[in-house]
Structure 1
Amino acid sequence: MPSPAAIVETVLPRRLGTGFRWLIASSWASNLGDGLALAAGPLLVASLTDDAFPVALAALAAWLPPLLFGLTAGVLSDRVDRRAIVVTVDVVRAALLTALAVVVLSGHATVPLVLGALFLLATAEVFADNTASTLLPMLVAREDLAVANARVQTGFVTVNQLAGPPLGAALFTAGTFAPFAGQAALCALAAVFVSRLRLPPRPARPPSKPWHDVVEGIRWTAHHPAVRTLVVTIFAFNVTFGAAWSILVLYSTQRLGLGAVGYGLVTTAGAVGGIAGTLAYGWITRHVSLGDLMRIGLVVETLTHLALALATSPWVALPVFVVFGMHAFVWGTTSITVRQRAVPHELQGRVGAVNTVGTFGGLAIGSGLGGVLAQRFDVTAPFWFAFAGSAVFVVLIWRSLSHVAHADEHADEHADEHEDEHEDEHEEVAGPR
């Protein structure tokens, strides 16, 4: 049986550095807290109203801030001490969550108040998440980014999606304030872990206007075929995904007949698929090109919406969530790695912010559509919309996905040449300029 030290070395290889381990610890603590809220937030709103539209607005409150503040967060993370940003925001989140827990415990929670709190928490998270995504390329060599991202995503799957939601639902059942108090403690712990990071110095940037910085990030994204294709694809598919998932709590309870804890199991099913994705990821990427991997993933997501629109039993729906979870892990890890390899270090924050705006812009639009469709028709209507929209977009984007494969092949060739010239050095800047 492997020793604990051997297990740690396998999961968190020493070559990735001590800084990476502190970053992973912070990421996993924060993700566990977010996993608690993933179930507890919608359950809290649903406990205050039976109307589908306010429930969908809970998703909108979480997905709208990245659209509104994502570009600002990107500029800030490329200008200011990145570690200080993450620490400060995590402390602010802990304070907000503590206040929310007190209000819920006192019995004074209302739908507008809860939606407002969720909006403020999501706004703070925009700045933390965007900045945290820029830390990994500063700590890990380019050739290790795929492994490092897989470890980050593994933590996300296991604690955010597998452990967090059912635990959050169970805590909510025991005491509606409990999951928010728990998330507050985990955010504070994440801030402590990030404060231990020692980042390499960054070269001074010439003074420029913030708007010019934003334009530079948008322009770079628009002119890079692979990154542009990823952003457009993520935006379109998050419109359809957001429409369906914004009313997932109602779909689970009304369509599938699951209770509060059962709703947490829906996310857990996706996490089980994500774990399968972590185990198979190395084999998949060795045998399937990135372009084909993207195409397969989009087909899987499209068929997921169709299957859920037709399902009436949790025994049918839960395996579908498992398959979707595997797809989500593989797609997410691949797209993040491609972007980090391609984007110059000094643009990581702004290009990541453009991707974030695309991601959550799609989710915000989709969640509004989902709420309207569910209110006018029934809880399956958003899934039918998601299936039809995804199918159309797959046809439109099919050929453009080849940009992703070609870009990564060129990046790998560049890395091989660099390693031949500097065998013992680690390249700090990710990808071609």
Structure 2
Amino acid sequence: MKVPETSLHKDDVGRVLGRRFWILWTSSGWSNLADGSFHVVLPLVAVSFTQSPALVAGLTFALTLPWLLFALIAGALADRSDRRVLMVAANGARAVLLIILVLVIVLDAGSIALLYVVAFGIGTAETVYDTAAQSILPQLVRREQLSRANGRLYAVELTTNQFVGPPLGGLLVAAGVMLAFGAQAAMWVVALGSLLLVRGSFKPARTSGASVRADIAEGLRFLWSHAVLRALALFTGIFNLATSAMMAVFVLFAVGPASAMGLTELGYGVLLSVVAAGSVLGSLLAGWAERRIGRALLISFAILGGVVFIGTPALTSSALLVGGGFFIGGAAIVMGNVIIVSLRQRITPNELLGRVNSAYRLVGWGTMPIGALLGGFLAQALGLQPTFAIMALVVLALVALLPLLTNPALDAVEVA
């Protein structure tokens, strides 16, 4: 029998995330399943058109460039519009783009240039969706529930995006490119339908009729006014630059009989799913670890995890060892991510959350297309494993920011 929330013990009430959260959780799962399989299908299809590291890495650039171009605008939209409606529209746009791509492939008109166009469009929709999704969560759960809610969202996102999605993407490509892209379009439609079941209005209250430019400036000022948030944004930006550089060319290291690892498409997907297995574990442990060992130490662990994640393939082509490094790195990185995202949501007013999230991601995610280009350039000039080694050292250099991210500093910015 379901117990009414009003009859729960006060500690239990704090643990109830609510029906609307779980609908969002379900929608997020479907959306990320499509996203995770798409990120694997895209480079696998690309290598049928080209073997150039620069051109393959360029797809990651096209997919992530919208974060650099449109993040601030997406944030302003998230603070002016109903955030659920934005998420619905973004998923619809992604589904339509893939349906168009399937139709073009049916006409035998596919090309690497077309993949670039679709990647840019998908990335633009993702910019809007992700900004709105991170901003809507504090409207669904209590402030003290954010770490737990983010942990649960990370768990389903990582399970579908990185654990189920990659091998599914490899399997779908093996079955046929049209089936692969068509299935992803269907997943985004299901995610869209789930979002329609989330009742309520999620348009933030506005106290002024400021212009979009003024709104964006306000979000940037808020981010810049917090030394800890500035440091975390820089931390995330450098971290993502390094991981993007590595992952943009990793498919060339891992897939095909001539590659160092010699994996099949399906094997590549399975290898990437190992990252998700570690990440899911990290997401489920994040709340517990935050209480037991503190946020600062978890951020330190994230740095070490990043070094292991990127550095292992620099040293070996063994699938077993690379998989082990991916598992350890995934767990540590995600625990740090949960802590950072939850802190940002706690200290940012709801009416500013979209803009602050987007300003943060402009710095934190805007480096991803730069990293993708850098990875392609370095791989072309130096080779794949030297590129991985350089990026591992870049992540290791983040220890220089740790004096700014102590537990007292993190506590102080939350209280302020």
- Report the TM-score when normalising by structure 1: 0.88
Q: Which residue of 2 aligns with 1:10?
A: none
Q: For 1:255, what is the secondary structure of its paired residue?
A: coil
Does 2:348 match 1:347?
A: no
* Map of 2:153 onto structure 1: 152
Which string of whole-angstrom CA distances, capped at 9 and with x for unpartnered residues, describes residues 314-336 of structure 1? 12211111111112221221111
Q: List, as ranges, runs of 4+ consecutive aligned residues in structure 1 with deviation greater than 4 Å.
A: none
Residues 1:397 and 2:391 aligned together = no
Residue type of the partner of 2:403?
R
Q: Name the aligned partner's letter for residue 269 of structure 1.
A: V
Q: Are positions 1:295 and 2:300 aligned together?
A: yes
Displacement after TM superposition at 1:31 (Å): 0.6
Q: Residues 291 and 405 of structure 1 are in contact (CA less than 8 Å); yes or no, is this contact kept in structure 2? A: no
Tell me which amino acid in the other structure corresponds to 2:216: V
Q: Is 1:368 aligned to residue 373 of structure 2?
A: yes
Q: Which amino acid aligns with 1:399?
A: P
Structure 1 contact 36–180 (Cα < 8 Å) conserved:
no
Distance in 2, matches of 1:303 and 1:275, equals: 17
**C-alpha separation in 2, matches of 1:160 and 1:197:** 22
Partner deviation per Cα, 1:382-403 (whole Å, 9 max, x = no partner): 2122022222332x2121121x
| Distance across 1 between alignment mates of 2:388 and 2:107 | 37
Equivalent residues in 2 for 1:111-122 (5 A)? 111-122=112-123
Match of 1:278 in 2: 283
Cα distance in 2 between the residues matched to 1:32 and 1:408:
35
| 8 Å CA contact retained: 1:277, 1:327 | yes
Mapped to 2, the partners of 1:258 and 1:345 lie a distance apart of 46
Structure 2 Cα separation of the partners of residues 294 and 284 of structure 1: 11
2:234 is matched with 232
- The answer to whether the aligner puts 1:42 opposite 2:46 as a matched pair is no
**Superposed counterparts of 1:212-361, under 5 Å:** 212-253=214-255, 254-361=259-366
Contact 2:235 2:364 (C-alpha < 8 Å) held by counterparts: no
Deviates more, 1:132-141 or 1:85-94: 85-94
Aligned-residue offset at 1:39: 1.0
| 1:352 to 1:115, Cα distance in 2 relative to 1, 3 A | same
Distance in 1, Cα, partners of 2:36 & 2:179: 13
1:33-52 Cα shifts (integer Å, max 9, x gaps): 11111210111111211111
Q: Matches of 1:46 and 1:85 in 2, distance apart?
A: 33
CA contact (8 A) 2:29 2:160 kept: yes
**TM-score normalised to structure 2 length:** 0.92
Partner of 1:380: 385
Q: Secondary structure at the match of 1:50?
A: coil
SS of aligned partner of 1:136: helix
Q: Indicate the residue corresponding to 1:8 in structure 2.
A: none
Query: Is 1:138–1:199's contact at 8 Å kept on the other side of the alignment?
Result: no
Whole-angstrom distance in 1 between the partners of 2:213 and 2:53: 38
C-alpha spacing 1:191/1:279, structure 2 compared with 1 (3 Å): closer
Between the aligned partners of 2:26 and 2:247, the Cα distance in structure 1 is: 28
Two-structure CA RMSD over aligned residues (Å):
2.0
Q: Distance in 1 between matches of 2:280 and 2:214?
A: 41
Counterpart residue number, 2:192: 191
